[in-house]
Amino acid sequence: MKLRDKVVMIAEAGSASGMALIDRFAPEGARFILNSEAGTDALVPALEKLHAAGCPAIAAGADLCSPRETAALLDRAERELGTVDVLIHNRRAVRPAMVETCDEERFLSVLNANAKSAFVVTQAVGRQMAAKRSGKIVYIGSIHAEKPTGASFAYSVSQGAIKMLCREAALVLGRHGINVNLIELGPLEGDDVRFRSGISALYEDYRYKVPNAVLGTYADVANLALYLSSAEADFLNGADVRLDGGFLMHYMDHKMKRPQHETTGGAP
């Protein structure tokens, strides 16, 4: 088991990626701090399943943009499970937002949900990890830390900020024996809708722009996150690992790997 008795905190455990992370990490012996800003209701099934399997776990609905709520959650978790060994930050709020027309509320809601929560939780968990001189932090980010969307600029701005947070934290926390890395994820099923754009054709035929014509899944993410959270990745620090099947390498449409019967159109 790769995470025997390790305390794993999942920032947004109620999301699809959160569920995949729980499923992948539980058999490895982890103990869980499950958080969801939406509250604990959505976490009940996962919590019951973990308890039934004998996995220690707690659920919380802390706002990770609030240093006070984050500290309170970590205090409670320390009493019930211990201090955090692995932090997975997987909040990825996307809202349509154009540079020209977006309003301030929308911009800040996306920036804070993604980048501010990452900073606040890194600071709080980083203190715990620095005190015990070990830990792993993994941000589940996006290929849009590099590639503009033409649909949700606030999202890509927040991803650019997280990318630099990862590099800063890798230096500062690295001196305390902590590894900090970033997964730049995409494309997943539904991203053509999530990032629908009148400007960028990036997501047209997007499945076939992945050289092997398959989209990513949250199980792929969980596999990589597990590796980054384990002792096997002790020398990996400050890296951005692009998990996109080669999507961003694409640029010649006529070479796309399409099924023989299909000549145009989107994903089947």
Partner 1 sequence: MKLTGKTALVTGAGTGIGQGIAVELARRGAQVAVHYNRSADGALETKRRIEEAGASCMLVQADVAHKPNIDRMVRETVDRFGTVDILINNAAMQLNYDLFEYDEEQFDRMMAVNLKGYWQCIQAVVPCMKARGQGRIVNISSVHGKRPTDFDPVYAMTKGGIRMLGRESAIELGRYGITVNTVEPGAVDVGKRSSMRSAPPPPANVAKPKSRPRDIRRKFPLGRIGLPGDVAHLVCHIVSDESEFLNGAAIRLDGASMLL
* Residue from 38, 53, 72, 108 in contact with partner 1 (CB under 8 A): 108
Per CB under 8 A, contacts with partner 1 among 194-213 are: 199-200
Whether 182 contacts 233, CB under 8 Å:
no
Residues recorded for the chain: 268
* Residue from 25, 32, 139, 153 in contact with partner 1 (CB under 8 A): 153
- Residues pairing with 33 in the sheet: 9, 58
Alpha helical stretches, state H, the chain: 16-25, 44-52, 67-80, 104-111, 117-132, 153-174, 191-194, 206-209, 218-229
* Residue from 107, 211, 227, 248 in contact with partner 1 (CB under 8 A): 107
CB of 199 to partner 1, least distance (A): 6
DSSP assignment of 118-174: HHHHHHHHHHHHHHHT-EEEEEEEEGGGTS--SSBHHHHHHHHHHHHHHHHHHHHHH
Dist. CA 7–CA 35, nearest whole Å = 13
* Residue from 131, 164, 214, 219 in contact with partner 1 (CB under 8 A): 164
Per CB under 8 A, contacts with partner 1 among 64-93 are: 66-67
CB of 252 to partner 1, least distance (A): 20
CB of 111 to partner 1, least distance (A): 7
Say how far residue 89 (Cα) sits from the centre of its chain.
Answer: 5
* Residue from 120, 121, 129, 182 in contact with partner 1 (CB under 8 A): 120
DSSP secondary-structure letter at 87? Answer: E
Per CB under 8 A, contacts with partner 1 among 34-63 are: none
Cα 29-218-40 angle, rounded to 5 deg:
65
Choice between 47 and 182, CB closer to partner 1: 182
The three-state secondary structure class of 178 is strand
* Residue from 35, 90, 128, 149 in contact with partner 1 (CB under 8 A): 149
Choice between 31 and 147, CB closer to partner 1: 147
Return the range that interacts with partner 1 (CB under 8 A); candidates 12-20, 167-175, 213-221, 242-250.
167-175
Applying CB under 8 A, which residues contact partner 1?
A: 66-67, 98-100, 102, 104, 107-108, 111, 115-116, 119-120, 122-123, 126-127, 144-145, 147-150, 153, 156-165, 167-173, 199-200, 238
